């Protein structure tokens, strides 16, 4: 096999895993898009989707763990970020209150759903990191959420790679579908929040 043919997919996979790890801190990173692109570049390699999915899940969980530890230790950068963004600080407080009032099962749903909402995991990690509750239960649900999201995003890319003949069309459809799903979930959450406030 040509070395260039191997190096190309290897680099895109490494970049995708770094983006998944980093978007806990920098939610604007296109981690989902890069994972889908990595799936498309490696879809013909036996076992590649499974290995990539496992890597994505581990990177996603490690990103949560790192940001959680930074928030727990009161890192100056985290405090400055909250102080400079009152809206973010308010959202973090709201999430803390929501988690405190929920049962364990309901809290698990919040952790899983946050993975599919833009900046959701960042806000959730900061909220848990600044709370007094133990983070062990959160990390358990975070690991489950990481597996669910990794399965979802890798499967989305893999299915589209087999449904369409061209890579660019597979990428476009996969990214559009992922964006639509995330946007729909975010709108549903906002709608339910407005309904709860009105009641």
* End-to-end Cα, the chain, rounded Å: 63
Query: How sure is the predictor about 5, in pLDDT bands with cuts at 50, 70 and 90?
Result: very low
Residue 190 CA to residue 199 CA, distance in Å, equals: 14
Domain that holds residue 87: 3-198
Q: Which residue carries 């570049």 as its tokens? A: 41
Dump pLDDT digits (tens) for 47-78: 888 999 999 999 999 999 998 888 877 756 66
Among 12-16, 88-92, 104-108, 112-116, the range of highest mean pLDDT: 12-16
- The domain tally of the chain equals 1
pLDDT at 103 over 70: no
Is residue 77 exposed (0-12), middle (13-18) or buried (19+ Cβ within 10 Å)?
A: exposed
pLDDT at 137 over 50: yes
Q: What is the pTM of this model?
A: 0.80
Q: What is the 3-state secondary structure (H, E, C) of the chain?
A: CCHHHHHHHHHHHHHHHHHHHHCCCCCCCCHHHHHHHHHHHHCCCCCHHHHHHHHHHHHHHHHHHHHHHHHHCCCHHHHHHHHHCHHHHHHHHHHHHHHHHCCHHHHHHHHHHHCCCCCHHHHHHHHHHCCCCCCHHHHHHHHHHHHHHHHHHHHHHHHHHHHCCCHHHHHHHHHHHHHHHHHHHHHHHHHHHHHHHHC
Residue 55 CA to residue 50 CA, distance in Å, equals: 9
């Amino acid at each position: 096999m040509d070395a260039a043919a191997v190096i190309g997919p290897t680099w895109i996979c490494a970049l995708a895993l770094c983006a998944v790890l980093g978007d806990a801190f920098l939610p604007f990173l296109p981690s989902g898009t890069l994972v889908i692109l990595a799936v498309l570049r490696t879809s013909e390699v036996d076992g590649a989707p499974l290995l990539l999915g496992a890597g994505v899940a581990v990177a996603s969980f490690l990103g949560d763990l790192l940001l959680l530890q930074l928030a727990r230790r009161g890192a100056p950068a985290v405090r400055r970020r909250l102080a400079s963004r009152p809206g973010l600080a308010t959202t973090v407080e709201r999430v803390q209150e929501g988690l405190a009032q929920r049962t364990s099962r309901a809290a698990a749903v919040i952790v899983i759903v946050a993975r599919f909402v833009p900046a959701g995991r960042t806000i959730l990690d900061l909220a848990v990191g600044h709370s007094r509750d133990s983070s062990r239960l959160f990390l358990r649900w975070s690991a489950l959420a990481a597996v669910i999201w990794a399965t979802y995003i890798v499967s989305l890319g893999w299915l589209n790679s087999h449904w369409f003949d061209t890579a660019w069309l597979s990428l476009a459809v996969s990214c559009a579908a992922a964006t639509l799903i995330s946007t729909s979930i975010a709108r549903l959450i906002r709608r339910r929040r407005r309904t709860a406030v009105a009641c």
